[in-house]
């Protein structure tokens, strides 16, 4: 499988690719004293990317430009800007830099786009300016930026706990092909968590099964569980998404899973023939009006 590299040196600067992720499972052990939820999630990077072009700045400080098919906030409201500020502060340097974010991964989709952008910024600036920050320091910075950011510093497959910031890379590769269904819906993560009702029995059942599969490095069996404890809350907050899942499953594609807190739905396919996958995408579009894309597991 040939994939685009993480870094690409251009005449104009350094291009860094920021991959999307899927939650192959997402379990919640309960609520923590700090108000966050204790997560146990298997996350996998896929070969669909945002891109960040790092160039020397022609004015003082950090300049961020956003382009591409999807909207992203400019300036200090963007995690790319926050990551750049944090990494320069960590090494006590003030660098003039121009960052161009090309946004392909939609916000509010459960694919970790903003977190991946932040991680790509950290490692990209560290390389471009030769800041010499060790991985452990980058992980500390990442934890302060957001729960999923640390995952994107490593990978391509990890078991993440805590708020998602504690990562344990999983050995080997899990080769898979998945169809992502991308409804034009932006789901509020905070609302999904606010409406979440914990089910200790369901957690124990899924956790025991997932841990048994992980002990044998059977990530494929974890993925087949299609276990996401945020599903019920997500479909309560956004009924259209639950209805969409039912329509797609009625096409006979097998279990349809939710990534993160939504809104992306996905299913893993065994048949990877490009022509047949194209026909399946056409069928999904005709039945739901939703765009879909085919992704594969990322190699880095």
Q: Band of the pLDDT at 7, cuts 50, 70, 90?
A: very high
Q: Enter the pTM of the model.
A: 0.96
Closest alpha carbon to 160 in 148, 145, 172, 175: 148
The residues that are catalytic are 21, 148
Q: What is the mean pLDDT of residues 224-228?
A: 97
Domain positions in the chain = 7-169, 177-296
> Which CATH code is given to the segment(s) 7-169?
3.30.230.10
Hey, do 7-169 and 177-296 end up sharing a CATH topology, with the first three levels equal?
A: no
Per CATH, is 177-296 categorized as 3.40.50.2300? no
Q: Which two tokens mark 284?
A: 């999904």
Q: How far apart are the first and last CA of the chain?
A: 12
Q: What is the pLDDT of residues 100-121, one digit of tens each?
A: 999 999 988 999 999 999 999 9
In degrees rounded to 5, what are phi and psi of residue 76?
-70, -10
- Mean pLDDT, the chain, as a whole number? 96
**C-alpha to C-alpha distance for 248 and 254, rounded to whole angstroms:** 9
Q: Is residue 241's pLDDT more than 70?
A: yes
Q: What is the mean pLDDT of residues 205-209?
A: 98
Question: Which pLDDT does position 108 carry in this prediction?
Answer: 87
Neighbour count for residue 30 (Cβ, 10 Å): 9
Q: Band of the pLDDT at 27, cuts 50, 70, 90?
A: very high
């Amino acid at each position: 499988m040939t994939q685009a590299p993480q870094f690409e040196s251009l005449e104009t600067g350094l291009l860094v690719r920021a991959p999307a992720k899927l939650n192959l499972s997402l379990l919640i052990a309960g609520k923590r004293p700090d108000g966050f939820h204790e997560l146990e999630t298997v996350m996998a990077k896929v070969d669909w990317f945002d891109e960040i072009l790092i160039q020397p700045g022609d004015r003082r400080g950090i300049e961020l430009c956003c382009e591409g098919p999807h909207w992203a906030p400019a300036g200090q409201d963007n995690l790319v800007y926050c990551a750049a500020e944090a990494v320069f502060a960590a090494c006590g340097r003030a660098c003039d830099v121009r960052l161009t974010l090309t946004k392909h991964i939609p916000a509010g989709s459960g694919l970790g786009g903003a977190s991946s952008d932040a991680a790509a910024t950290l490692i990209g600036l560290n390389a471009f300016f030769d800041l010499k920050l060790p991985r452990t320091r980058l992980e500390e910075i990442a934890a302060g930026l957001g729960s999923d950011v640390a995952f994107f510093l490593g990978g391509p497959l990890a078991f993440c706990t805590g708020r998602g910031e504690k990562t344990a890379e999983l050995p080997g590769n899990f080769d898979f092909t998945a169809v992502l269904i991308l409804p034009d819906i932006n789901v509020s993560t905070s609302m999904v968590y606010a409406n979440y009702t914990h089910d200790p029995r369901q957690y124990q059942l899924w956790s025991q099964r997932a841990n048994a599969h992980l002990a044998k490095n059977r990530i494929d069996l974890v993925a087949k569980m299609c276990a996401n404890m945020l599903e019920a809350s997500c479909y309560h907050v956004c009924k259209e998404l639950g209805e969409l899942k039912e329509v797609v499953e009625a096409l006979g594609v097998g279990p349809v899973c939710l990534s993160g807190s939504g809104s992306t739905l996905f299913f893993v396919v065994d048949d990877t023939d490009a022509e047949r996958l194209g026909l399946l995408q056409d069928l999904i579009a005709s039945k739901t009006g939703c765009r879909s894309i085919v992704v594969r597991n990322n190699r880095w």
